[in-house]
């Protein structure tokens, strides 16, 4: 029987299709098993770290920052966490309404976050009612020129930066505590990220000058790597045009950020410098030793985190076991190369970091410590 050219072409196409189908089925089974096993490990780790927190018989009023994004997710995290910890929570969305709301419901304490845009007469009026006022400064030490005077209008001052405790005491504040930020499990946790957001290396954050200078030295080592940078101001890079296709200048929601973290094998963390004259109000030159909130958010997504070192970091994670560090572009590039080919090591550190984060560094844990300081 004569086989036509068209039939031969159909036969070739069918064999090619069958080959692709078989390869896709094989690869899909392999990848699905691998990803499912990893997510199972992550879920087991999260459950092992869970522990109940006490519920205190107190009434707390939380005054939202009212600053919108990117503060609105933190407002959500604080309110959602406090709800688990106190018998009564009142949330006030507009700071201007806080004094009248406090007069109406008489809470045991009124908590403000950030406070940079809260007129001092608002906490003053609440204090005149005999109600305790609390501020949690979230951007120390970058705006200490402003917060030094604001802090005096509150009964209790909490700061995420350990270096600022003595600073506020010297300014005249009587009750000051160090309390770092954390992560909110409603936003950050391990996820099976879709293929479209997966990559080898990710960095999320604004292009402050210290970061730009560092990446100018780092990027030549990463030319052939699967890299994503997401944030504003990265057009400052010396070789921006060469890497522009890998850079996305935008803000992301916490949920979008968590997907990027979860989809990356390695996430780079780099702290902002407290002496950046463009964006800071820190004329006294206070240094920074405490980790940024991104430290906890990355670890909560079960990705290997490579971070620059702040001296207080070891109080939160064991370097080399729960987190990995670097001190130069060359060291960072070498560790990226190492962990991309040593998957078992990479995932072991990521799981250890996930456990420590879920156990110790949630906003619920932070607020439980705050309530303990306030009410015993």
Q: Residue 60 has what DSSP assignment?
A: E
What is the rounded average pLDDT for all residues in the chain? Answer: 92
207, 236 Cβ separation under 8 angstroms: yes
- Write out the residue limits of the CATH 3.40.50.2000 domain(s) in the chain: 195-360
> Does the pLDDT of residue 27 top 60, yes or no?
no
pLDDT band at 1 (very low <50, low <70, confident <90, very high): low
What pLDDT shows up at residue 6? 66
**Continuous segment of H or E residues that includes residue 272:** none
Integer angstrom CA distances of residue 94 from 66, 272, 318, 319, 345 = 6, 30, 41, 42, 48
The pLDDT-based confidence of 17 (bands split at 50, 70, 90) is low
Q: Name the pLDDT band for 68 (thresholds 50, 70, 90).
A: confident
Tell me the mean pLDDT in the region 345-371: 98
Question: Binning pLDDT at 50, 70 and 90, where does residue 274 land?
Answer: confident
pLDDT of residue 48 exceeding 90: yes
> In 10 A of CB 168, how many CB atoms?
25
* Mean pLDDT of all residues in 186-190: 96
- State the average pLDDT over residues 139-157: 96
Region(s) of the chain under CATH 3.40.50.2300: 56-182+363-375
The pLDDT, as a whole number, for residue 366 is: 98
Tokens encoding 41: 């490990």
d(CA 110, CA 364): 17
The domain defined by 56-182+363-375 folds into Rossmann fold (3.40.50)
Q: What is the rounded CA–CA span in Å between residue 361 and residue 369?
A: 11
Per-residue confidence at 275, pLDDT binned at 50, 70, 90?
Answer: confident
Look up the CATH superfamily of 195-360. Glycogen Phosphorylase B; (3.40.50.2000)
Residue 190 has pLDDT above 70, yes or no: yes
How would residue 327 be classed by pLDDT, with cut points 50, 70 and 90?
very high
pLDDT in tens, 72-121: 899 999 999 999 999 999 999 999 999 999 999 999 999 999 999 999 99
């Amino acid at each position: 029987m004569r086989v036509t050219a068209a039939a031969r072409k159909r036969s070739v196409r069918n064999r090619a299709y069958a080959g692709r189908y078989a390869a896709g089925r094989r690869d899909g089974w392999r990848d699905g098993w691998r990803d499912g096993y990893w997510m199972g490990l992550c879920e087991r780790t999260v459950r092992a770290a869970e522990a109940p927190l006490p519920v205190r018989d107190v009434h707390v009023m939380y005054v939202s920052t009212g600053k919108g994004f990117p503060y609105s997710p933190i407002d959500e995290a604080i309110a959602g966490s406090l709800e688990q910890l106190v018998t009564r929570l009142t949330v006030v969305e507009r700071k201007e309404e806080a004094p009248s709301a406090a007069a109406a419901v008489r809470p045991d304490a009124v908590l403000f976050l950030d406070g940079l845009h809260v007129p001092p007469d608002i906490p003053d009026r609440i204090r005149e009612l005999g109600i305790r006022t609390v501020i949690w400064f979230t951007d120390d030490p970058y705006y200490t020129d402003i917060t030094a005077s604001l802090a005096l209008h509150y009964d209790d001052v909490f700061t995420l930066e350990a270096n600022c405790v003595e600073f506020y005491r010297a300014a005249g504040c009587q009750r000051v505590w160090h309390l770092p930020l954390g992560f909110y499990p409603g936003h950050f946790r391990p996820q099976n990220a879709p293929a479209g957001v997966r990559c080898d290396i990710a960095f999320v954050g604004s292009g402050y000058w210290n970061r730009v200078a560092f990446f100018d030295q780092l990027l030549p080592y990463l030319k052939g790597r699967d890299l994503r940078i997401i944030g504003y101001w990265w057009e400052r890079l010396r070789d921006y045009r060469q890497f522009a296709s890998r850079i996305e200048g935008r803000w992301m929601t916490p949920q979008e950020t968590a997907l990027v973290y979860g989809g990356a094998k390695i996430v780079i963390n780099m702290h902002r410098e407290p002496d950046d004259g463009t964006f800071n109000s820190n004329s006294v030159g206070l240094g920074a030793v405490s980790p940024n909130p991104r430290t906890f958010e990355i670890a909560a997504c079960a990705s290997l985190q490579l971070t620059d070192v702040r001296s207080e970091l070891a109080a939160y994670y064991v370097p080399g076991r729960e987190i990995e560090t670097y001190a130069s572009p060359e060291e960072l590039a070498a560790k990226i190369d190492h962990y991309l080919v040593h998957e078992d090591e990479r995932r072991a550190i990521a799981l250890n970091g996930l456990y420590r984060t879920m156990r110790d560094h949630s906003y619920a844990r932070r607020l439980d410590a705050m309530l303990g300081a306030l009410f015993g």
